[in-house]
Amino acid sequence: MFNLKNDRYLRAILRQPVDVTPVWMMRQAGRYLPEYKKIRSKFNNFLSLCKDVDMACEIALQPLHRYDLDAVIIFSDILTIPDAMGLGLYFDEKCGPGFLYPITCSADVERLPVYDPEQELNYVMNTVRMIYKNLKGEVPLIGFSGSPWTLATYMVEGSSSKVFNKIKKMMYSDPIILHKMLDKLANNIILYLNAQICSGVQSVMLFDTWGGILTGSAYREFSLYYLEKIVNGLIRKNKDCYVPIVLFTKGGNQWLEDMAEIGCDALSIDWTINIGEARRRVGNKVAIQGNMDPSVLYSSPERIIYEVKKILESFGKGSGHVFNLGHGIHHDTSPEKAGIFIESVHSLSRIWH
C-alpha cells in the first residue's frame, strides 16, 4: 500500500493491523546524540544549521542509523514560518528563540505576507527532498509545523514566555486582530505543509505546544478552529498514498473529544493522562500516539521496560497506537537508555497484536 520496507507507523496511524507497535521519539534527531553535537559544534547558531541542507539531512537520519525506529522526522524548527514572514528569527544559546521584529500592533499584522514556501522556505523543501531520497523507502518521513496559536505566541511575545501576558492581552482586548493573524498563519501553514507533502513527507504533525495554556472556550476559538482549517486544506493523497495527519496539543487532554472531530487521523498525547482512558474517550475515531514521560529515560533499564509495559497494557490489544514520548526527548538523555526504550516497545508489544 505504501511501498515502504517498514510501513508500521502509517498502518498504525490508520488503525490497520501491525505486527508490533511502531515507535519513534519527538526530537529524536538532535541534541542528546553525540553525533549531532559533533555537527552542531561547527555552526555558530542553530538557524544556520537548519538551513544547511546536507547537514539537516544527515541529522534527520542519524537516529535511524543508531536505532530500529519506525519513522524519521525532518530536522527543522517550527519558527521557520514566522521567520519567512519577515520577523527576523534568531536563537540565543541561553535564552532560546526570539524575533527581531515581534508583532506589537494591528499594522504589524496587516503587513504579514503570504509566502511561497518554495522560495522563502526552499531550504526546508530541499531538506525534505534529500531525506526522502536517502531513506530509499526504508521508513516513512514525517513533516511538521507549529500550530497557528503556538506560532502566534512566539510572534507576539517576541520570545519564549512563562506567563504569555502579551498574547493573552491581545486575545481578550483585540480578538479581531488576533484572528486576522491566526488566519494568515493558517493559510501559510497549509502552503508549507502541502509543499512538504509534495516534496516527499508521508505524514504530517501539527505541534500545538501552547494550546494547553488556554481556557476551553478560548482553545476552541483561537486554536482548534484554525487547526481544523489546516486539516481541511491539506493534500490527503500523494503518489496514490494517503497522507495521515497527527495533532499534538500539549496539555490538551481535557479536549480530546473535540480534537478527534476535526478530521485528523491521530492525536498525540502527553504523559498526564492514562492512554487507555484516552483510547476509550476517542473510540475508533482516531489513533493515539504517546505517551511515556521523557524523564523515565533517566531511570534504570528495568524501570524503562516496566513503564513501557504499563503503557502497552493500558492501551490494550489491537492497532491504532504509535508509541512515543509525551514530549520531546531531553537533551541530557543517555542514547543507550533511548535504545532500551525503543527495543522494549518492539519486543513487548508483539503479544498485543
Beta pairing, strands 287-289 & 321-322: parallel
Residue 27, annotated as binding a ligand: yes
Enzyme catalytic residues:
27, 31, 40, 77, 154
| pLDDT one-digit tens code per residue, 98-153 | 999 999 999 999 999 999 999 999 999 999 999 999 999 999 999 999 999 999 99
C-alpha torsion sign, points 167, 169, 172, 178? negative
* The predicted structure's pLDDT at residue 96: 83
Residue 272, annotated as binding a ligand: no
DSSP state, 148? Answer: H
Closest CA to 124 of 56, 204, 25: 56
Q: In 3-state terms, the chain is what percent helix, strand and coil (to 5)? A: 50, 10, 35
DSSP state, 234? Answer: S
Residue 8, annotated as binding a ligand: no
- Torsion of Cα atoms, 221 then 226 then 232 then 233, to 10°: 160
Residue 77, annotated as binding a ligand: yes
* The predicted structure's pLDDT at residue 240: 87
* The predicted structure's pLDDT at residue 1: 64
Residue 196, annotated as binding a ligand: no
Instruction: Kindly list the structural domains of the chain, giving each domain's residue range(s) and its CATH number in brackets, ordered by start.
Output: 1-28+262-353 (no CATH), 30-66+71-250 (3.20.20.210)
* The predicted structure's pLDDT at residue 144: 98
Which 3-state string (H, E, C) describes 314-328? HHCCCCCEEECECCC
Residue 318, annotated as binding a ligand: no
| pLDDT one-digit tens code per residue, 145-182 | 999 999 999 999 998 888 899 999 999 999 999 999 99
Residue 80, annotated as binding a ligand: no
Confirm if 312 and 348 have CB atoms less than 8 A apart. yes
Residue 327, annotated as binding a ligand: yes
Helices marked H in 51-164 — which ranges? Answer: 53-66, 80-82, 106-111, 122-135, 148-157
Closest CA to 294 of 270, 311, 321, 266: 270
Query: Which regions of the chain are under pLDDT 50?
Result: none
Query: What is the Cα 98 distance to its own chain's centre?
Result: 20
Which residue's entry shows cell 512538504? 196
Residue 293, annotated as binding a ligand: no
